[in-house]
Structure 1
Amino acid sequence: MTATGPRQKTLALVRSRRRTAQDRHRAQRPIVILFSDDSTLIFARRMREVLQAADPDCLIEMVWFTDESALSYRQITQLLPQGPDRVLGGKQLVSLMCDPSVRAILTSRIYRAMLRPLNSPVARWSGNRPCILSFLGGLDFFPAQGFARRRNCDAVYLFPRSALADYAQQVGQSTQGWQEIGFGHPSVMRAKAPPADLADRRDIYFFTQALSPSTLRGRLHMLRVMAAIAKANPERRVFIKLRHLPSENRQHLHLEKYDYPGLMAQLGPLPPNLLLTDITMEEALETAALGITCTSTAAMDLLRAGLPCMVYLDFVDAYRDPLVPPMRKMFQGSGVITSTEDLLNLKPGALNPQWLEDMFCPDDLGTRVLETLDRFHARDFQIRRDLPSS
């Protein structure tokens, strides 16, 4: 047993005081989570939930960045009924990035206003400022540009696990200053067990995506497939889960060219159990027995919830859709890519556990993020310890 001398007692006291000061520091300085549209707001809500699960006393502010906003009133009242804690424009966001009273800024998108401060060595190397931590926006089929925009963030969290090596290879030594790379995303956390009532559920959801299928023929094909499923299963409800209403998000980054409500009106009489819905993803997952999608991040939500998922990539004009090849590559070996025959017969494949392990992060994400923030704010002490003694 090691004796405890005066030096050990002093070090223990210093560590204890440091932890106490660190706890007070956490409570006093908020973590800001940015959002500007439905996707980033969903990220912000889930990130808040993950952080609060790790530390219930964590102070979090939901901040609406309006310079690149594409939110409708319906969406913000549905997803954030209490409203944002702050509303910021570009200049205010730049000021926030050097505000010593803020502990961190978390974002799933690198906004244009953020680029200049991120690329400024003076701004990056200033000591008493928030940690800028960026996640991916979701499934990133073309990550090279996203990697480049994040190269000067203080921390970057990526998925799947293989993306960490890809990021290191692409960014390499171009990052100057402190940076930490982590694995995970609040929407892609380790899958849960199937719901206890799964065998009794009847609802089927087709989760639409703004850009894919990209052609009119492809979208009509998906509607006819859903109508065929509804007709063959009159005891089930088949929902077409809309990403947004036709009148919404006209300035959205991903603008929908052919909306499903308009296309359904063109097809004439459809089975009465083929329905449209604009409920939230969380609400859909509460009753879904099975989820179908083409290239949507909804596939990850379904798998995370322990629900059967079918990714269908053989729709009409799929060869013209730029999102199909990367989706096929990303889900290769997953077991969830389905054929037309299996889709019509509602026969999902068996999920590959190894693929799941590479894609989904452990449920300690909130704790790891908070530890990253602690290491960022302690980085000046690390630098001092590395300096040669005089």
Structure 2
Amino acid sequence: MPHAPRRIAVLADSDTRWKWGASVARQIAPDHALDAYFLRTRATPTERQLAEVGIVPDTQREVTAAELVDDEEFASADIVVLSVIGGTALALVHSLGLAWQLRPQRPVTVTGYVGVVYEKMVDGLLTRAGADLVLANSGYDCGRFRTVFANVGIDPETVVECALPFLGGDPYVPSTDRPFTLTFAVQPSVPSKKERLLLLERAAAHARRYPERRVLMKLRSLPGEQTTHVEANPYQELIENLAEPAPPNLELVYGNMGEVLDRTDLLVTVSSTAALESMHRNIPTAILTDFGVREAHGNHYFVESGCLASWDDLDGGALPRVNPEWAAAQGIGKSDPYAGARARIAALRAAGPLPQLRPYYTPQRAGIYLGGLLARNGFDEKGRPLPVQPATLDRSLKAAVRGVTRRGARRLYRMGHKRVAPTLRRWGQA
């Protein structure tokens, strides 16, 4: 009888974390069947968002974190990638550790970060502790993570150096077959609404200054869609508020970032991870300074990259190139960066039954903190699903209805204000 194919399960709570988790799965277990589990949250990926990532799983389903505790399919996977926020990772390592402790075999567990770690490093790192592998996206991060783990008594070898899994694509070669293309990679949470409108005005001004260029605003989501961070002021709406109509060579685009980079000659962003994808391909990359170099914006992470620039610099023709030494420290250009992770997984499997999963935070060490995170994810202290109260279901249903109603009302108002009202006024004047 043929052996069942090996399986890797990826649990993700948003489109960006699915992109990271699925890309990691392809790197560490390219011959495994891929099972996708999507947490049922405000940011559960839509079909359009999944198609944009471009990795098609063999199976997929939506779940709550608590449903996974007794899920036999999830427990029988060979590898589980927890591509979720730190608090959810902690709740799952705690609860799955208790649920799986009597199993003769359990999955190898893997977790990590979607992008660069520029804030709350210790906070996020200790909530991920306890997984078999904590992936570090660069040598720089690996050193920092191992130091923290060693100082709090966690095996530092749990941290494995790799790179962002979606770095790839052909090296940049200028093309004469298409217009020079500047791509701005937007982010949902920075900058503020006022600053986003100013940024859009500068992009439009650059497009007018260089009518032979294409200026693309690479969007993350459709209005109403959610991603890892809430986008309160989408550029699709702000573009209607420009002081002058948008020039024809300024375009709002969607799509896979790698495919957009295939036709990009200059990548501009405040601090998006897309900058690292661009640098990896040696595309000129600008980290905007117009709103300051600030921890709140995350662009301080790129201070040593050599790519800080303003719109004035770009209007003047600047084409920043990344500092090679800084790039190497960030895992950019690394050959086969996941070899170490594959070797670690093979060694764990060869060593026999895996030990029980044990997070750093336990009821004895941080009971109040752990208890809050467990409850938030639907677990009690023993790792069992909390009973669902009718009042909770009622509140969830009401919240969902309110959200749909508010979004529908906003769209109807915009349509009425911009389309129906002018028509009615014209009829009244006829």
TM-score class, shorter-chain normalisation, is 0.7 to 0.9
What residue in structure 2 maps to residue 243 of structure 1? 220
Give, in whole Å, the separation in 2 of the partners of 1:81 and 1:254. 21
Residues 1:149 and 1:192: Cα distance change in structure 2 (over 3 Å): farther
Q: Check the 8 A contact 2:268/2:286 in 1, yes or no.
A: yes
Match of 2:229 in 1: 254
Q: Which residue, out of 47, 57, 67, partners 1:92?
A: 67
Preserved CA contact (<8 Å) 1:76 1:83: no
Provide the residue aligned with 1:279 in structure 2: 255
The answer on whether the counterparts of 2:16 and 2:228 sit within 8 Å (CA) in structure 1 is no
What RMSD over aligned residues (CA atoms) do the two structures have, in Å? 3.2
What pairs up with 1:64-143 in 2 under 5 angstroms? 64-67=38-41, 69-80=43-54, 82=56, 85-87=59-61, 88-96=63-71, 101-110=76-85, 114-119=89-94, 122=98, 128-142=105-119, 143=121
1:217 to 1:68, Cα distance in 2 relative to 1, 3 A: closer
Which deviates the most, 364-373 or 230-239?
A: 364-373
Given the alignment of the two structures, is residue 358 of structure 1 paired with residue 336 of structure 2, yes or no? no
CA distance 1:156–1:218, shift in 2 (3 Å): same
Task: State the secondary structure of the residue aligned to 1:301.
Answer: helix
SS of the counterpart of 1:144? helix
Counterpart residue number, 2:16: 39
Q: Deviations over 1:164-203 (max 9, x none)?
A: 2322332336466796211123446489632474896522
C-alpha contact (below 8 Å) 1:135/1:185 kept by paired residues: no
Q: TM-score, normalised by structure 1?
A: 0.78
Runs of 4+ in 1 over 4 A off after TM superposition: 80-84, 96-100, 110-114, 120-127, 173-179, 188-192, 198-201
SS of equivalent to 2:182: strand
Q: Which moved more, 1:60-69 or 1:205-214?
A: 60-69
The reply to whether residue 333 of structure 1 matches residue 309 of structure 2 is no
1:270 maps to 2:241? no
Residue 409 (structure 2) aligns with: none
Matched residue, 1:323: 296
Q: Does 1:313 align with 2:285?
A: no
Corresponding residue number in structure 1 for 2:27 = 50
Q: Equivalent residue for 1:387?
A: none
The CA deviation string for residues 288-337 of structure 1, in whole angstroms up to 9 with x for no partner, is 1111000211111111233111110223xx47x6533x422x21221111
Question: Alignment length, in residue pairs?
Answer: 348
Contact 1:187–1:300 under 8 Å retained in 2: no
Secondary structure of 1:287 counterpart: coil
CA distance in 2, matches of 1:98, 1:117: 16
Distance 1:368 1:173, change over 3 A: same
Task: Letter of the 1:331 partner, please give it.
Answer: F
Structure 2 residue identity aligned to 1:357? A
State the partner residue of 1:171: 149
CA 1:70/1:59 → structure 2, altered by over 3 Å: closer, same or farther? Answer: closer
Q: Greater CA deviation, 343-352 or 141-150? A: 343-352
Contact 2:215 2:249 in 1 (8 A): yes
In the TM superposition, residue 286 of structure 1 has moved relative to its aligned partner by 1.7
Displacement of 1:105 in angstroms is 0.7
Q: TM-score, with normalisation over the residues of structure 2?
A: 0.71
- The alignment-based identity, stated in percent, is 23
